[in-house]
């Protein structure tokens, strides 16, 4: 098998097929769609434009593979996981380059993703040995009662373009570790990074045919593939990493077809800065949390809520540091701010910044762009009716809000329908720790940025940030509990 299985070079442009049943396949009529580089909008690759027929082939392949995979021993599954991790390590630099070119991820973040992917796969190998159930109490004498966890069947995973490589693996590892098979539908904005690379690796690692399948599609054609997922009796779970708008549509359809859902959605993540904080540390933390990956990940800091006593000093230092962040080609190791994913993404960010300014917001730095690079932007005095004050905006823009007391800071942090990540920075760690449970978010970080993740931790959101958790806790999302009871002797009946 070649290092680039499923791809061929045609006139200097790579052409990718989709992956189903352990085979690389062309879409019907050899239909392809174009993938463009965010940095310079140059054509990067052409990818199979799948539809209902391709999705059906993938679902059938996953269904056929399920019975055998569900019975595979923990040792064999773990061996496959470790092989996959070794391949990721071997291809570290190459995959990082693909991420930088296809998604605009800076090369430092792209390389970090590979290290995180390898570590995640290795940790997930151990999940195979976690308890598969529990012994239950029984009121009937002589009865042994147990709850046994069993895999569900086929899981349909929707993977995003941002943090594409990490999140594509996250959407696959828990389901297959739990004994399910998976069909991945990657974002059309990053089909290679969000799915096809994963397919290459599981093939080389020797996973059985049909355990992991990847179906790609052209822009605007996701609905046809989703139709197959919802109509198939084999698909038991819809697993989404994406946005609220998509989640609401999928949840509505899942309700109609009685399919389970697990959803990791966006965030409007607050960073609270209390007045006893080390100011330089607060500035460094805010800069990283706000502008990491150009503000294009769900954990980015969107609002900074700072106590009035230190607000002016914080804003002055934060603005000065932000102005020093270098922008440019994401493949350049010096670049901190790379391009946004599409011209439409740039326009959305710019429109929302301009609307806020028109309504009276103050601009401290940024608010301009060239090509697809939007300069890191700090706003204050943003009115509550501005879209950017209420809706997640995927870009390097952060709002600073001033409050008088820690209690007001918590109240401000909870003034949103989102609830993914949050942070509190304080000199007195215990003071911040006491405030933490009052914040309505799935993740509360004390003296750490909102961009914070541990592989084994139950990361996930509340309210409009979704439901379900990552890490070993997530295995439950992809399993049924079967109650088995055995009575030694004869039961007595009333008639």
Contacts of 494 (CB under 8 A, 6+ apart): none
Provide CB contacts within 8 A for 188, sequence distance 6+. 33, 216, 217, 218, 219, 221, 222
Assess contact for 391 and 405: CB atoms under 8 A: no
d(CA 235, CA 233): 6
Written as six digits, the tokens of 147 are 């709850």
Residue 434 among the catalytic residues: no
Q: Cα separation of 83 and 9, whole Å?
A: 27
**CA-to-CA dists, residue 278 to 284, 310, 425, 490, angstroms:** 10, 10, 9, 71
Q: What is the Cα 373 distance to its own chain's centre? A: 22
Q: What are the C-alpha distances in Å from 109 to residues 350, 444, 459?
A: 24, 23, 20
Instruction: Name the active-site residue from 102, 204, 298, 401.
Output: 298
DSSP per residue, 95-129: HHHHHHHHH---HHHHHHHHHHHHHHHHHHHHHTT
User: 229 near 156, Cβ under 8 Å?
Assistant: yes
15 is catalytic: no
Cα-based angle 298, 302, 306 (whole degrees, multiple of 5)? 140
Q: In 10 A of CB 455, how many CB atoms? A: 18
3-state secondary structure of 160: coil
Catalytic residue among 188, 264, 392, 477: 264
Taking alpha carbons only, the member of 132, 124, 125 closest to residue 151 is: 132
CA end-to-end span of the chain: 68
Catalytic residues: 264, 298
């Amino acid at each position: 098998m070649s290092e680039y299985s499923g791809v061929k070079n045609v006139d200097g442009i790579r052409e990718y097929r989709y992956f189903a049943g352990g085979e690389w396949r062309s879409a019907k009529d050899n239909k392809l769609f174009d993938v463009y580089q965010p940095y310079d909008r140059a054509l990067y690759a052409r990818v199979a434009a799948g539809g209902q027929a391709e999705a059906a082939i993938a679902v059938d392949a996953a269904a056929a593979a399920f019975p055998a995979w569900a019975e595979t021993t923990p040792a064999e599954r773990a061996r496959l996981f470790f092989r996959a991790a070794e391949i990721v390590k071997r291809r570290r630099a190459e995959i990082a380059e693909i991420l930088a070119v296809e998604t605009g991820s800076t090369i430092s973040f792209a390389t970090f993703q590979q290290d995180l992917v390898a570590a995640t796969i290795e940790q997930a190998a151990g999940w195979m040995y976690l308890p598969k159930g529990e012994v239950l109490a029984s009121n009937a004498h002589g009865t042994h009662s147990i709850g046994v966890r069993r895999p569900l069947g086929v899981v349909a995973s929707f993977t995003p373009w941002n943090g594409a490589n990490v999140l594509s693996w996250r959407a696959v590892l828990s389901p297959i570790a739990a004994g399910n098979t998976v069909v991945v539908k990657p974002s059309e904005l990053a089909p290679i990074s969000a799915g096809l690379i994963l397919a290459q690796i599981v093939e080389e690692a020797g996973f059985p045919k049909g355990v992991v399948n990847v179906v790609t599609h052209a822009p605007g054609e996701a609905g046809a593939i989703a139709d197959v997922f919802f109509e198939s009796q084999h698909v038991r779970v819809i697993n989404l990493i994406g946005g609220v708008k998509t989640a609401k549509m999928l949840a509505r359809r899942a309700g109609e077809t009685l399919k389970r859902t697990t959803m990791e959605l966006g965030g409007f993540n607050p960073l609270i800065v209390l007045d006893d904080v080390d100011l330089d540390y607060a500035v460094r933390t805010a800069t990283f949390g706000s502008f990491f990956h150009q503000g294009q990940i769900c954990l980015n800091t969107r609002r900074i809520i700072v106590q009035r006593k230190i607000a002016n000093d914080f804003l002055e230092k934060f603005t000065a540091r932000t102005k020093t962040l270098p922008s440019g080609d994401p493949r350049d190791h010096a670049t901190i701010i790379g391009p946004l994913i599409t011209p439409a993404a740039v326009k959305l960010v710019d429109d929302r910044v301009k609307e806020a300014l028109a309504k009276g917001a103050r601009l401290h730095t940024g608010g301009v762009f060239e090509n697809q690079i939007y300069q890191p932007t700090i706003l204050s005095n943003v009115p509550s009716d501005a879209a950017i004050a209420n809706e997640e905006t995927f870009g390097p823009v952060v709002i600073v809000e001033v409050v008088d007391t820690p209690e007001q800071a918590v109240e401000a942090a909870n003034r949103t329908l989102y609830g993914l990540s949050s942070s509190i920075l304080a000199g007195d760690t215990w003071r911040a720790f006491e405030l933490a449970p009052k914040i309505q978010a799935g993740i509360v970080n004390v003296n750490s940025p909102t961009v914070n993740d541990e592989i084994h931790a139950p990361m996930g959101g509340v309210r409009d940030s979704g439901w379900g958790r990552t890490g070993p806790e997530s295995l439950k999302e992809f399993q049924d509990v079967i109650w088995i009871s055995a009575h030694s002797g004869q039961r007595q009946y009333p008639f």
